Amino acid sequence: MRVSARSISTVLMGALLLGIVVAAPAGAFGQSDPSTHRSITDTRFDWPTWSSVVRVATLRDHNTRIVVLGTTLLGLAAGLVGTFAYLRRRALMGDALSHATLPGVAAAFLITGEKNLTYLLLGATVTGVLGVLAVLAIRQSSRIREDAAIGIVLSVFFGAGLALMSIVQSTSTGNAAGLNQFIYGKAASMITSDATMIGIVAFVVVTGTILMFKEFRIVCFDQDFAASMGRSVVLIDLLMMGFVVLTTVIGLQAVGLILIVALLIIPAAAARFWTDDLKAMTMFAGTIGAMSGWIGASFSALLPKMPTGAIIVLTAGILFLFSMVFALRRGILPEAVRRIRLRRRIALQHLLRAMAEIEERTGKPTPIDSAELVNMRSWTQRDLRRLTNRAKGAGLLTRKSWTELELTKLGRTHAQRVLRNHRLWETYLIEHADIAPSHVDRDADEIEHVLSEELIDELERALEAGQDIPPSPHDDTPDTARTMP
């Protein structure tokens, strides 16, 4: 039975929402034994006990369960929709959007006079959308570039928000409003209704992203092609940014407007190291975002003096660093290993080709003096000794004496193939690419090692492969211009 990604996401979201709704109240976030409470002036740092680690990991406390599940859902939604914002090159747009929500929060409080989360998030949504529209309007109606437009809107809206916040603080109830949590985030104060709202919005964002996956993909990679198919690029773009707005607004309570952009971008950027497939990248980004919320909130529960939003973002940063270094597809370490292996393979092929050219000149298999190889490739004796030891270990040559080498049957087969590929590419460059014969040897030397079997077949067909490939014009001259790779 085949299970679609849509059904999996529906079951996952339903299960997480059910866990939030049915959670029975018990305890507080990062709860500890009341007998251990100390004065608020006590700045000592205590490492969590094993029992508290187990308690948090198993989500036994109600508030811990609420915060962990809420931030996990937020990370999942942010990772999914952030993938398309990242590919659409709208990373800074999320930053402008998050800062544009501050005046809406302050204005909603000034209008209603109460700290009602629904009203505050509604105000944040209105000014957030206005901020996005302002960026688009500046970009479309003037010659100002998008990055400059984002900087203008970000600073102006954030400045307006700080001005309104100062007015809020001057009111009789302003100091007790606690609106600063929307700037820095305070996930530890999340209650069941907050987590339920995050779950609902996350469900809408995840479901909408899955349903619009094809359209988002086309617009991200080729919007002209999307327009030629009759798709409304503007409408799809606005829907995509609408999901970003929803995720940003709902994330204010957890990580704050300063850090929410990190949850939108870091998971997608980390996922890009693991794959080139968009579906896989989207799933990776959602997983990394969810892991960031889960692990970050859990650590914050164990270390109650640490801000939850900052810990979540730091967790995402650690996952990004791990992906950048160790990801099999684009990670720094695997890429370095692949380059080392390629250099070793190229050097070994150079040795085999040089020995094949010498045998071709003599007209028969014969032991080859290592001094002659040194002159052909400008190797040092140390380089050649290392290469010959590697080739000998692979069964490609044997050592007749301290200075004489001879190809084995397997080595001669490999050497002939390498020599033929080199001459095949040289001939193609001379006859079809108009490369001067004096430069063709160097060009062939750079590409021949990565020719695939399919490309070799195409070259042979293009050159009427039934005929012999002519020797290189440089085969009988020492190659003193190149050194060992």
CA distance 381 to 385: 6
CA distance 282 to 270: 11
What DSSP character marks residue 35?
G
Q: Where are the domains of the chain?
A: 5-29+49-326, 335-462
As a CATH number, domain 5-29+49-326 is 1.10.3470.10
Residues in contact with 234: Cβ distance below 8 Å, sequence separation at least 6, in sequence order: none
Which pLDDT tens digits describe the chain residue by residue (485 residues)? 444 545 445 544 554 444 444 443 433 344 444 444 444 445 555 677 788 888 878 888 888 888 889 899 999 999 999 999 899 887 777 778 888 888 888 898 888 877 777 888 888 889 988 888 888 888 888 888 877 888 888 889 989 988 988 888 777 665 545 666 777 677 777 778 888 888 898 999 999 999 999 999 998 888 888 888 888 888 888 888 889 888 888 888 777 777 788 888 999 999 999 998 999 999 999 999 999 999 988 888 888 777 888 888 899 999 999 999 999 888 999 999 998 988 888 888 888 888 888 888 887 777 888 888 887 777 888 888 888 888 888 898 888 877 888 888 898 888 888 888 777 777 777 766 666 666 555 555 555 555 666 666 766 666 554 444 555 555 444 443 333 33
Common-topology check for domains 5-29+49-326 and 335-462: no
Are 216 and 275 spatial neighbours (Cβ–Cβ below 8 Å)? Answer: no
Query: pTM score > 0.85 for this model?
Result: no
As a CATH number, domain 335-462 is 1.10.10.10
CA distance 366 to 358: 9
Structure tokens given for 446: 């750079």
Backbone torsion region of residue 463, taken as left when φ is above 0, otherwise alpha when ψ lies between -120 and 50, otherwise beta: alpha
Of the chain, the end-to-end C-alpha distance in Å amounts to: 52
Which residues are bridge partners to 183 per DSSP?
A: none
The Cα-based distances of 372 to 73, 368, 414, 419, 437 in angstroms read 67, 7, 20, 18, 24
